[in-house]
Amino acid sequence: MRLLISGGGTGGHIYPALALVEALKKRDPKAKVLYVGTKRGLESKIVPDAGIPLKTIEIQGFKRSLSLENFKTVYLFLKSVKDSKKIIRDFKPDVVVGTGGYVCGSVVYAAAKLNIPTLIHEQNSVSGITNKFLSRYVNKIGICFPDVKQDFPKGKVIFTGNPRAQQVAGIKPNQTLEKYGLDPARPTLLVFGGSRGAEKINQTTLAAAQLFKDSQYQVLFVTGRVHYDKLIRQPEAKKVPANFIIQPYIPDMPQILPDIAAIVGRAGATSLAEITAIGIPSILVPSPYVTNDHQTKNALSLVNQKAAKLLKEEDMTAERLFADIDELMSNKQLRDDMANNAKKAGVPDAADKLLDVLTDISKK
């Protein structure tokens, strides 16, 4: 198979794409893959680091308010469609996949106009603007949350799950926590606000640090590199208890997840795919800054299955955060029940499901 794939801007669009590529290479070692992104997006570093060829186009998103920049956006879209068609003609893909972000709008649209089989993958419970636009032109639409089905044309939607789940499902406990100064024999709570960190989660967690000093469990608090230097200089950071470890970043987060007893974090699609693939109880703090509050809807999909607890950012104080954590970490039976429910909610063979769909549409 010759696969051209596009998605960018955030890790939530990029990592599912990489997981799909990895699964394809395992199924068909002779498969050829080309990734199309932008020079400014995270994909410009992540994709080449993964050993995948990358071509770039220039494009930007629409401003939601009236702005002269939108005239430039229209110009760049038209130009990027033309550039995408050239890339597609040169590569000659059997199928083209978009995993989200405005960059894939031009690429997938161009492929559809060239009558190349196309698929888009929507990771969240609410469709993004680009995928809504593309849904009229593509052959199939893969989804991860049943609720998002209503955003798309009937007959095109297939529930596949998130390919990232398959990538992490096979990882076993490996005692990697030791290198962060943690005791592998003690239950460990991970607090993680995403790769860039989350200011409110960070400040509230630091304010609660002293409350954990007598706990029988330990805390791994990952701030995100952007916030670390400022946070570590605060007086509270100088006197955290011995069972409270602060780190700026974990290079390969999935590797430590099987050794984690519970998580406090955002409700992004990739995070939830990882949590459900391994089966980890969680306290989810949805970001209030995302389109259509989709992280709250993502979170509720697990809360309603008794696999997670919801803590809104507006309600989060040091005392409330500690109380919710302590209730979970002090009750192993509750954690086990939530972990089992989380695993039931996952789709561990999501990448294979998507590949089956791609194989089918590429033959038609």
Reading the chain (364 residues) residue by residue, the pLDDT tens digits are 999 999 988 888 999 999 999 999 999 999 999 999 999 888 999 999 999 999 999 887 655 555 666 667 778 889 999 999 999 999 999 999 999 998 999 999 999 999 999 999 999 999 988 999 999 999 999 999 998 999 999 899 999 999 999 989 988 888 889 999 999 999 999 999 987 789 999 999 999 999 999 999 999 999 998 899 999 999 999 999 999 999 999 988 889 999 999 999 999 999 999 999 999 999 999 999 888 899 999 999 999 999 999 999 999 999 999 999 999 999 999 999 999 999 999 998 999 999 999 999 998 7
Q: Which two structure tokens, joined as six digits, stand for 34?
A: 């080309």
255 annotated as belonging to a binding site for a ligand: no
DSSP, collapsed to helix, strand or coil, labels residue 171 as coil
Beta-carbon-side half-sphere exposure of residue 188 (alpha carbons within 13 Å): 25
Same domain, 173 and 302: yes
Q: Give the amino acid at 49.
A: D
Instruction: Determine the pLDDT at residue 363.
Output: 87
* 215 backbone dihedrals φ, ψ, rounded to 5°: -75, 150
* 136 backbone dihedrals φ, ψ, rounded to 5°: -75, -20
Same domain, 198 and 340: yes
Cα–Cα distance for residue pair 357/20, rounded to 1 Å: 12
Same domain, 305 and 187: yes
Same domain, 196 and 120: no
Same domain, 354 and 337: no
Instruction: Determine the pLDDT at residue 252.
Output: 83
Same domain, 206 and 153: no
Instruction: Determine the pLDDT at residue 66.
Output: 56
61 annotated as belonging to a binding site for a ligand: no
Same domain, 260 and 356: no
Instruction: Determine the pLDDT at residue 62.
Output: 58
Q: Which two structure tokens, joined as six digits, stand for 192?
A: 């993680």
- Tally Cβ neighbours within 10 Å of residue 49: 9
Instruction: Determine the pLDDT at residue 185.
Output: 92
Instruction: Determine the pLDDT at residue 233.
Output: 95
Same domain, 339 and 352: no
216 annotated as belonging to a binding site for a ligand: no
**pTM value surpassing 0.85:** yes
Number of domains in the chain: 2
- Tally Cβ neighbours within 10 Å of residue 238: 8
128 annotated as belonging to a binding site for a ligand: no
Where in the sequence is the domain holding 204, given as residue range(s)?
169-345
282 annotated as belonging to a binding site for a ligand: no
Same domain, 210 and 75: no
Domain with 22 in it: what CATH number?
A: 3.40.50.2000
Place of tokens 């703090």: 285
From the DSSP assignment, how many helices (H) and strands (E) are in the chain? 14, 13
Same domain, 62 and 134: yes
DSSP H helices, 118-211, are: 129-134, 163-169, 199-208
203 annotated as belonging to a binding site for a ligand: no
Residue in 103, 65, 111, 104 with CA at minimum distance from that of residue 87? 111
Q: Give the amino acid at 62.
A: F
295 annotated as belonging to a binding site for a ligand: yes
Place of tokens 């401003």: 63
Place of tokens 């089956």: 356
Same domain, 60 and 207: no
Q: Give the amino acid at 104.
A: C
Residue 161: left (phi > 0), alpha (psi -120 to 50), or beta? left
Same domain, 326 and 354: no
